[in-house]
Amino acid sequence: MLIKETDYGTPASNIEAMVTLEIDGESVTVPVGTSVMRAAAEMGTKVPKLCATDSLNSFGSCRLCLVEIEGRKGTPASCTTPVEAGMKVRTQTSRLAKLRRGVMELYISDHPLDCLTCAANGDCELQDMAGEVGLREVRYGYEGANHLKSEKDTSNPYFTFDPAKCIVCSRCVRACEEVQGTFALTIDGRGFASVVSAGQNEDFLDSECVSCGACVQACPTATLIENTVIESGQPEHSVLTTCAYCGVGCAFKAEMRGEEVVRMMPYKDGKANHGHSCVKGRFAWGYATHKERITKPMIRAKITDPWQEVSWDEAINHAASEFKRIQKKYGNGAVGGITSSRCTNEETYLVQKMIRAAFGNNNVDTCARVCHSPTGYGLKTTFGTSAGTQDFDSVEAVDVMMVIGANPTDAHPVFASRMKRRLREGAKLIVVDPRRIDMVKTAHVEADYHLPLMPGTNVAMINALAHVIVTEGLVNEQYVAERCEPHDFQMWRDFVALPENSPEATEQYTKVPAADVRAAARLYATGGNAAIYYGLGVTEHSQGSTMVMGMANLAMATGNIGRNGVGVNPLRGQNNVQGACDMGSFPHEFTGYRHVSDDAVRASFEQAWGVSLDAEPGLRIPNMLDSAVEGTFKGLYVQGEDIAQSDPNTQHVTAGLAAMECVVVQDIFLNETANYAHVFLPGSSFLEKDGTFTNAERRISLVNKAMRPMAGYADWEVTMMLSKALGYPMNYTHPSEIMDEIARLTPTFKGVSFDRIRELESIQWPCNDAAPEGTPIMHIDKFVRGKGKFVVTAYVPTDERTGPRFPLILTTGRILSQYNVGAQTRRTDNIAWHPEDVLEIHPFDAENRGIRDGDVIALTSRVGETSLHAKISERMQPGVVYTTFHHAMTGANVVTTEYSDWATNCPEYKVTAVEVRLSNQKSEWQRDYEALREATRKVAVTAAE
C-alpha cells in the first residue's frame, strides 16, 4: 500500500494559545495562527487548493480555496486567512462551487488534455481538483493562446521540467526558497507570460540548482516530475526506511513497484528531515541495482589470481579455515576485523561480537577511527558521553551558530537547509574554516564573521576565543559554579588567560585578524543561545581530541550546554557512524562506550555470550596495518569499508593489506580494498535488509527491507554464517532479536526495541527507565559525568610543516553530489556533477606556478604523488589547496600522511604539506594502480552453484 500523508495546506502554528471556531456547522479548536484551510483539514474537511501545501507558507495565488465567512464581504482565500475565535466558515456552497469551477476552467484551458497518458496520472493535484470541483467542460475552448508547445528541460539527470503543464502556482519557487534555501528558481515575466525559470537563460543543470528535489515534490502537476516515474509509472506501495548516506539520517518512503524502486520520497513525519532531502538520498539510489553489483561469493589463493565464483558454503568455510590457520600459526591476535558505518547497528554489533567471541581478541575497529573518534574521546572526557548534545530541531532556537570545520551544505545538506532557514530568520553566524565554504555567503545568508584560519591551528583559535571570554568577563559564572568541577575550571581559566593565548598572540599561527576573533568571541558569549556545529575539520588533526575538548570548554564557560538552542554538535559523516561507535566497534569498548577492562561490564557480556573475553584493548586500524607490515598481523575481515581508498597514506595501507595472508572483504562492489582480498562475500544494500541506523543526533531509526537481498543474504546473516564456521554459532532469526540483546546489555539502550521505535517513529538514546521516550537534549540538569570537566588545551603545532620543498598545505573534504569513497555515488547519475576530483588552488599560488584553470598538475607530499586537474578558486586562501577523495584514480590519500590525533589515532587528513606543479601525465602511483587494478579484478567465468 502507498503511504499517503495528509496535506493540511499550510504549516502548523507553533503558538500555544487556542481558539475555537465553527466550520460548516462543526466546532473546531486549533492554535492561534492556524489558517482556516488547516483548521478545516484538521477536522477532516478538504478545501480545494492548488497553490497551498503544508510544507510552505501560504501564498494565496490560485483562488481555488475560497470560503465564505459570516460577517465578511466576498470570498476570502482560506489558506491566507487566519482563524479567529467565534468565526463561522462555510466551505461548500453553490456560490463557492461556481467560483471554483470558473478558476479550474481557466487552468484547464491552458493545459494539455493528456491525463490518461501523463506520467502523473493518479498523482496530480490539478486532476484531483478538476474532479473535486466537478469541472465537466471548458467554455473557452482550447484554441486560444496557450503554453502547450513550450519546450521541456531534460538537462537534470533525475527530473524533467515540462512548462506546458505549469499552472504557475510558484510552489516550486517557494520550495526552493523556504525548504531548501537555494533560491534557484524565479517566476519570469508577468501575467500570461509568466514562466518558471531556473536562472537566467540557463537550464536546470547549469543553474544554481542543487537537485534536492524539493520543487519536484512540491509541484502539484506533472510539470516537474521524476524521470523514474516517467519511465516506470506510478509506484504501488511504499516502505518506510532511512537514508543510507549521511549522518543526518533522513526518513524516506521507498516507493515501489514490486521489488523495483520507483522513487524515494522524503517522509514528512521523519524527525530528522521533516519531509526534505538532498540529491543523494532522493535520487542517487541506482547503485543498489547497478550491473557491477557482485552477487556471488568468490575466493582466490593470490591476489593476482582470477576470482573464482564459489558457493556460500565454500566461501565461508574457506574464510573460517584461513582465519583459524592463521591464528594457529601466528597467534590469537594475528587476525581482526573492521565494522561498517554504512551497515545497520545490528550488523555492526554482530561483527564486533564475532571478533571478540569467535576470534577471541579485541582487534575490532571502525571507520570512525578516521573521522570522529576524537569526538568520542573529547566529549566523553568533558561531558561524560561520546555523542552530540542536541537534536536537530534545537537549531530553531539558536541565536548564534558557530560552524567549525564543517561544510554542511555539501556534507549534511538537509540540516544545512534548516540552518539557513534559521539564519534567514535572524540568527547570527560565525564560520571558522580555512575555506570560504558556501555558508559564508549564499543566497540570503551571510556569516557575521568568517575566521579563515590556517589548517592545523584550530586549538590556537579556540584558546584565543576562550581568552577573550575569560579576560573580558564574559564567563557565565553562575553556570560554571553550579555545573562544573571548580578546580579544573580554575586551571583552564588561568591557562587561557595567559597572554600567549590572546587573539593578538595567536594571530601568528592562525593568520586571522585578532579584532575578528575578539568580535566573534563576544558574539558567541553574549548573543543569546549559542550552538557549535562541527565536522571533520575539527577532528582530523593531530590535536583533534584537544580541539573537541576546547569547544566543550567554551560551551561550558558560557553556559551553552543543557537546553534547547545550544550545545556542541558533531555533524557525523556516514549514515551510521554514530551507531557503529555505540555498538562497541572500538577495540577498547563494548556497547555504550564501556571499557573492556571493566570487570563487571565484561562479565555481563561473558555471561550473555557464553565465552570468556579479553580484558585488554585490541588493535586499532593503523596498528593492524603497522603490524601487518611488520609481519605479525595476517588476517582481516572488512565489512562495508574501503580502507585502501579512505585511509591515509594509501601506499602504507596497501602494503599492510598486501602483507596479509587472508583478507576477507564483504561489500556490494569490488572496492579498492578487494584488490588485496582473498575472499569476497557479497554484501547487501540498505534496501535489502531490516535493521536500524543511528544518526548524528543519536536518533535510532528503522531500516525496512524493500527488496530481497540480491546475493541471497543480508550482511547480518553472512556474519552469522562466518561466526558459525569459526565455531561460535549465533542464532538470530531477525535483526530485532539482535537489538533486544543490545538493549539487555547496554544501559543507554535499555528501552529500545524495534516495536518501540516503530511506535515512536524514532528514538534518541539514552532510552531507559529514566527517559522512556529517549533524550533529545542531553546534560539538562547535570552532566552525564556529574560535573562538567574543563581540560587545559595547550596548542601544539603539528609536526607536519611546510617548507621549501612542500610550501603549501593540502586539506581534503567532500562535495555534495558524492559520498565518501564514491563507490555508491559514482555508480549513479550524480557523476554529472563531479566526474573527477580536482585541486582547488588560489589564483596567487596558481599564477606563481604557471598553472591555469583545468591544467593537469602533480600534487606531491613527502609520502606520495598523484595528478589531477587544477581548479582556480578564490574560496581558497593563498598557501592552502583543497581536494576531495571520491575517486579512486585520483588517490587523494596517496599524499596524506601517517600523522594522527594524539589520543585516538584519527588521521591528520586536514594538514599535509605539499607542492603543486604543472604536469602532463599520471603519477607513478597512478600508473601502478592502473596495472594493479587490471591484474586483481579478473573474475574467472566459472559457474557458481
104 or 403: CB nearest ligand FES: 104
* d(C-alpha 117, C-alpha 162), whole Å: 14
- If contact means CB under 5 to 8 A according to the sort of partner, which of ligand SF4, ligand FES, none does residue 50 touch? ligand FES
Judged on CB neighbours under 10 Å (0-12, 13-18, 19+), 387 is buried
Using CB under 6 A as the binding criterion, the count of chain residues that bind ligand SF4 stands at 42
245 or 713: CB nearest ligand SF4: 245
Look up cell 465567512; give the residue. 69
- If contact means CB under 5 to 8 A according to the sort of partner, which of ligand SF4, ligand FES, none does residue 49 touch? ligand FES
> Contact between 250 and ligand SF4 (CB under 6 A)?
yes
Residues 6+ apart with CB under 8 A from 143: none
65 or 894: CB nearest ligand FES: 65
- If contact means CB under 5 to 8 A according to the sort of partner, which of ligand FES, ligand SF4, none does residue 280 touch? ligand SF4
Q: What does R_g of the chain's alpha carbons equal in angstroms?
A: 29
Residues 73-112 binding ligand FES (CB under 6 A) are 77, 79
> Contact between 218 and ligand SF4 (CB under 6 A)?
yes
In the complex, the smallest distance separating the C-beta of residue 842 from ligand FES, rounded to whole angstroms, is 49
In the complex, the smallest distance separating the C-beta of residue 64 from ligand SF4, rounded to whole angstroms, is 13
- Category of 5 on φ-ψ map: left (φ > 0), alpha (ψ -120 to 50) or beta: beta
133 or 870: CB nearest ligand SF4: 133
In the complex, the smallest distance separating the C-beta of residue 224 from ligand FES, rounded to whole angstroms, is 18
- Category of 135 on φ-ψ map: left (φ > 0), alpha (ψ -120 to 50) or beta: beta
22 or 202: CB nearest ligand SF4: 202
* d(C-alpha 257, C-alpha 398), whole Å: 42
Contact letters (x/-) for ligand SF4, 261-280, by CB under 6 A? ------------x---xx-x
> Contact between 119 and ligand SF4 (CB under 6 A)?
no
> Contact between 454 and ligand SF4 (CB under 6 A)?
no
Residues 3-62 binding ligand FES (CB under 6 A) are 49-52, 60-62
In the complex, the smallest distance separating the C-beta of residue 273 from ligand SF4, rounded to whole angstroms, is 6
* d(C-alpha 52, C-alpha 220), whole Å: 9
* d(C-alpha 469, C-alpha 476), whole Å: 9
Start-to-end CA span in the chain (Å): 36
What cell was used for 287? 547503485
Q: Judged by CB under 6 A, which of 19, 36, 64, 351 binds ligand FES? A: 64
- If contact means CB under 5 to 8 A according to the sort of partner, which of ligand SF4, ligand FES, none does residue 639 touch? none
Comparing every residue's Cβ against ligand SF4, the nearest one is 281
Count Cα atoms within 13 angstroms, Cβ side, for 434. 27
Q: Judged by CB under 6 A, which of 175, 681, 742, 839 binds ligand SF4? A: 175
- If contact means CB under 5 to 8 A according to the sort of partner, which of ligand FES, ligand SF4, none does residue 464 touch? none
Residues 646-685 binding ligand FES (CB under 6 A) are none
- If contact means CB under 5 to 8 A according to the sort of partner, which of ligand SF4, ligand FES, none does residue 171 touch? ligand SF4
38 or 842: CB nearest ligand FES: 38
- If contact means CB under 5 to 8 A according to the sort of partner, which of ligand FES, ligand SF4, none does residue 79 touch? ligand FES
> Contact between 703 and ligand SF4 (CB under 6 A)?
no
Look up cell 577495540; give the residue. 587
User: Which residue in 74, 77, 79 sits closest to 35, CA to CA?
Assistant: 79
In the complex, the smallest distance separating the C-beta of residue 175 from ligand FES, rounded to whole angstroms, is 15
- If contact means CB under 5 to 8 A according to the sort of partner, which of ligand FES, ligand SF4, none does residue 77 touch? ligand FES
Residues 219-248 binding ligand SF4 (CB under 6 A) are 219-221, 223-224, 243, 245-246, 248
> Contact between 281 and ligand SF4 (CB under 6 A)?
yes
> Contact between 211 and ligand SF4 (CB under 6 A)?
yes
162 or 485: CB nearest ligand SF4: 162
243 or 379: CB nearest ligand SF4: 243
Residues 733-792 binding ligand SF4 (CB under 6 A) are none
* d(C-alpha 219, C-alpha 163), whole Å: 12
Whether 525 and 394 have beta carbons less than 8 Å apart is answered as no
49 or 826: CB nearest ligand FES: 49
* d(C-alpha 396, C-alpha 564), whole Å: 9
Q: Annotate 85-116 with DSSP letters as a single string.
A: TT-EEE---HHHHHHHHHHHHHHHHTS---GG
| Torsion angle of C-alpha atoms 538, 908, 813, 387, degrees rounded to 10 | -40
User: Which residue in 561, 522, 538 sits closest to 403, CA to CA?
Assistant: 538
Tell me, what DSSP letter sits at residue 246? B
In the complex, the smallest distance separating the C-beta of residue 78 from ligand FES, rounded to whole angstroms, is 6
58 or 394: CB nearest ligand FES: 58
Count Cα atoms within 13 angstroms, Cβ side, for 65. 28
Q: Judged by CB under 6 A, which of 170, 817, 884, 897 binds ligand SF4? A: 170
User: Which residue in 465, 432, 457 sits closest to 553, CA to CA?
Assistant: 465
Whether 700 and 252 have beta carbons less than 8 Å apart is answered as no
- If contact means CB under 5 to 8 A according to the sort of partner, which of ligand SF4, ligand FES, none does residue 60 touch? ligand FES
CA angle 926, 927, 930 (to 5 degrees): 85
Contact letters (x/-) for ligand SF4, 129-168, by CB under 6 A? -------------------------------------xxx
Tell me, what DSSP letter sits at residue 786? B
> Contact between 390 and ligand SF4 (CB under 6 A)?
no
Q: Annotate 557-600 with DSSP letters as a single string.
A: HTT-SSSTT-EEEE--SBTTHHHHHHTT-STTEEGGGEETT-HH
Q: Judged by CB under 6 A, which of 9, 213, 405, 822 binds ligand SF4? A: 213
Q: DSSP 3-state assignment of 31? A: strand
CA angle 899, 901, 907 (to 5 degrees): 50
What cell was used for 337? 576485523
* d(C-alpha 549, C-alpha 562), whole Å: 16
Q: Judged by CB under 6 A, which of 23, 108, 414, 571 binds ligand SF4? A: 414
50 or 440: CB nearest ligand FES: 50
53 or 409: CB nearest ligand FES: 53
> Contact between 214 and ligand SF4 (CB under 6 A)?
yes
Long-range contacts, 113-122 (Cβ 8 Å, 24+): 113/142, 118/165, 118/222, 119/222, 119/225, 119/229, 119/230, 119/233, 119/234, 120/221, 120/222, 120/225, 120/229, 120/234, 121/234, 122/234
35 or 409: CB nearest ligand FES: 35
In the complex, the smallest distance separating the C-beta of residue 885 from ligand SF4, rounded to whole angstroms, is 17
Q: Judged by CB under 6 A, which of 36, 40, 65, 465 binds ligand FES? A: 65
79 or 778: CB nearest ligand FES: 79
Using CB under 6 A as the binding criterion, the count of chain residues that bind ligand FES stands at 12
Give φ, ψ of 310 to 5 degrees.
-135, 175
Beta bridge partners of 828: none
- Residues in touch with ligand SF4 (CB under 6 A): 166-172, 175-176, 180, 182, 184-185, 196, 198, 209-215, 218-221, 223-224, 243, 245-246, 248-250, 273, 277-278, 280-281, 412-414
Residues that bind ligand FES (CB under 6 A): 49-52, 60-65, 77, 79
